[in-house]
């Protein structure tokens, strides 16, 4: 843990990663506490009647599930999906998989058939830990529903693993081709700890209770909140919200006496729009997209504290951010580099500089991925020498990093990173579509919405009914948050001489539409 009372400079200069030869996240997140304080509360379960689940109970659930998975043939290195919402079994599922030395794959319940299958097939996952609802979404894969199992009380001996042994495969969207799986080792939890502690104003204080409305299938929910909280002995709240509602949020905070929250920017904007105030919190973190000075000022009025922004991505997370307990944030900036990481802004030759350039993270960050799953060429392209390129543009303001924009065309909507290529591929399967270009359109609430510009096949007439049909077509096949909320029918797309869609022209057009 980081020690409060030191200056940022002292914390950064004195920090060293602690990565022992033997490291398994199941021990970090569960077994260490189950041995030391078995009755300590690990998870406050609000998915039904409130239930405070101890570390001993969490270990018993994980051990029983691990035995069942081994009986089904799961072994070290196998990939096993976890298709569940926030809940105790979600945490136990990941822990059970790591105990075996297998690789867990967080999967969104919001994924529809095509999006889900593309990921599990790419990963080669034959078993998916899920619930009855999730089982109906599967095709070839075998659903494992823990609630239906008769689990014994025998302990499970955790497989010996090291920091770089594969542990979790998290899929991220890109601009070209299908989604890529970022493969992380058992060091990834350790890699998240400094950033999680800082954006929570030194997480682990007496009476701290953690919660986020973000799904635990997203790296922000799983490794910014759930696993760091478990590792530090801080109770984590499990509460399902089918749709974020401010009153529901306030009730969860009240019921569980929540002190620390990670709110995606869209959730903050919804709270602001309703004029709601939520006093009593100790710390709020936000990430996924920049907040801006206006939102920071509002946050001080609504919560009585300063919101701490943080920055990272699936490939290497929580590498920069703010910590009001250490220093005042600089409005418009993400923050300073998190101890343990080295972040730079690179020029075209891959050299660090102070003016605007490519944001990159140096090898050695414990939260950095091992590789893209089965994609050696794309893994190689992600690096320039010892620097991992984030695909973002930034500039330094003293020691503060200001986010300028994305180099690629990934759409950021309600905190989700959405790749346009997958949506375009889906729409191209519809018999009415000749060609399509998908971009992000600026939106006050969601940062961006998915906007599709479609050229229809000859003889097909554009209409509102046709647009609705195409929205539903995507919604039923991909994630429910990634369907195009707006569709425009046009005669032709702007194309390069090699036949590629010029997305920057479509983005400029969408920006003009948003400004009207």
pLDDT at residue number 432: 95
In whole angstroms, what is the distance from residue 225 CA to residue 1 CA?
Answer: 15
pLDDT at residue number 29: 98
Summarize pLDDT for 66-107 with one digit per residue, the tens.
Answer: 999 999 999 999 999 999 999 999 999 999 999 999 999 999
Select from 502, 385, 392, 410 the least CA-distant residue to 179.
Answer: 410
In whole angstroms, what is the distance from residue 439 CA to residue 364 CA?
Answer: 34
Do 256 and 207 touch, CB atoms closer than 8 A?
no
Which parts of the chain have pLDDT scores under 70?
A: 173-177, 289, 407-408, 496-500
Six token digits for residue 246: 């401010």
DSSP-derived letter for residue 415 is T
Residue 41 φ then ψ, to 5°: -70, 125
- Domains contained in the chain, CATH given: 23-338 (3.40.50.12780), 411-515 (3.30.300.30)
Number of H helices, E strands in the chain: 17, 26
pLDDT at residue number 498: 42
In whole angstroms, what is the distance from residue 1 CA to residue 416 CA?
Answer: 29
**Sign of torsion over alpha carbons 160, 39, 202, 103:** positive
CA 54 to chain CA centroid, nearest Å: 26
Select from 60, 41, 25, 264 the least CA-distant residue to 162.
Answer: 25
User: What are the distances in angstroms from CA 243 to CA 101, 224, 261, 438, 481?
Assistant: 35, 21, 17, 25, 11
CA 279 to chain CA centroid, nearest Å: 26
In whole angstroms, what is the distance from residue 1 CA to residue 203 CA?
Answer: 9
Helix (H/G/I), strand (E/B), else coil: 287: strand
DSSP notation for 68-127: HHHHTT--TT-EEEEE--SSHHHHHHHHHHHHHT-EEEE--TT--HHHHHHHHHHHT--E
* Cβ neighbours, 10 Å, residue 414: 21
pLDDT at residue number 71: 97
Is pTM, for the whole model, over 0.95? no
């Amino acid at each position: 843990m980081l020690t409060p009372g030191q200056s940022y400079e002292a914390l950064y200069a004195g920090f060293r990663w602690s990565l022992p030869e033997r490291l398994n996240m199941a021990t970090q997140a569960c077994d260490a506490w189950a041995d030391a304080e078995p009755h300590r509360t690990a998870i406050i379960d609000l998915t039904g009647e409130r239930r405070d689940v101890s570390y001993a109970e969490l270990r018993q659930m994980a051990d029983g599930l691990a035995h069942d998975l081994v009986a089904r043939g799961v072994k070290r290195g196998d990939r096993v999906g976890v298709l569940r919402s926030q809940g105790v079994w979600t945490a136990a599922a990941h822990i059970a998989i790591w105990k075996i030395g297998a690789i867990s794959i967080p999967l969104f319940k919001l994924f529809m058939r095509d999006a889900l299958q593309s990921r599990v097939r790419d990963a080669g996952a034959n078993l998916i830990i899920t619930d009855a609802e999730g089982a109906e979404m599967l095709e070839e894969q075998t659903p494992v529903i823990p609630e239906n199992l008769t689990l014994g009380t025998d302990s499970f001996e955790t497989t010996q693993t090291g920091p770089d042994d594969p542990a979790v495969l998290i899929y991220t969207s890109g601009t070209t081709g299908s989604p890529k799986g970022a493969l992380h080792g058992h060091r990834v939890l350790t890699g998240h700890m400094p950033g999680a502690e800082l954006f929570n104003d030194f997480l682990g204080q007496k009476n701290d209770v953690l919660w986020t409305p973000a799904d635990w299938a997203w790296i922000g929910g799983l490794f910014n909140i759930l696993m760091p909280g478990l590792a530090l002995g801080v109770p984590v709240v499990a509460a399902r919200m089918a749709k974020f509602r401010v009153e529901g949020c306030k009730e969860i905070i009240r019921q569980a006496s929540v002190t620390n929250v990670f709110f995606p920017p869209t959730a903050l904007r919804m709270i602001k729009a309703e004029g709601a105030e939520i006093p009593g919190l100790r710390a709020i973190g936000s990430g996924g997209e920049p907040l801006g000075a206006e939102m920071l000022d509002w946050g001080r009025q609504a919560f009585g504290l300063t919101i701490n922004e943080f920055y990272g991505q699936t490939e290497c997370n929580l590498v920069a951010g703010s910590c009001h307990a250490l220093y005042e944030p600089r409005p418009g900036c993400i923050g300073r580099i998190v101890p343990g990481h080295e972040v730079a802004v690179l020029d075209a030759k891959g050299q660090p500089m102070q003016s605007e350039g490519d944001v990159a993270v140096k090898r050695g960050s414990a939260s950095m991925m091992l590789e893209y799953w089965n994609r050696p060429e794309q893994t190689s392209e992600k690096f320039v020498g010892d620097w991992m390129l984030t695909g973002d543009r930034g500039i330094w303001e003293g020691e503060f990093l200001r986010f300028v924009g994305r180099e690629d065309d990934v759409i950021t909507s309600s905190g989700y990173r959405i790749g346009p290529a997958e949506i375009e591929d889906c729409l191209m399967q519809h018999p009415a579509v000749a060609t399509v270009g998908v971009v992000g359109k600026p939106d006050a609430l969601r940062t961006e919405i998915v906007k599709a510009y479609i050229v229809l096949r000859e003889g097909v007439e554009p209409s509102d009914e046709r647009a609705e049909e195409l929205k539903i077509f995507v919604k039923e096949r991909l994630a429910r948050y990634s369907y195009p909320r707006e569709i425009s029918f046009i005669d032709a797309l702007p194309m390069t001489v090699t036949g590629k869609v010029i997305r920057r022209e479509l983005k400029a057009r969408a920006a003009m539409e948003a400004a009207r």
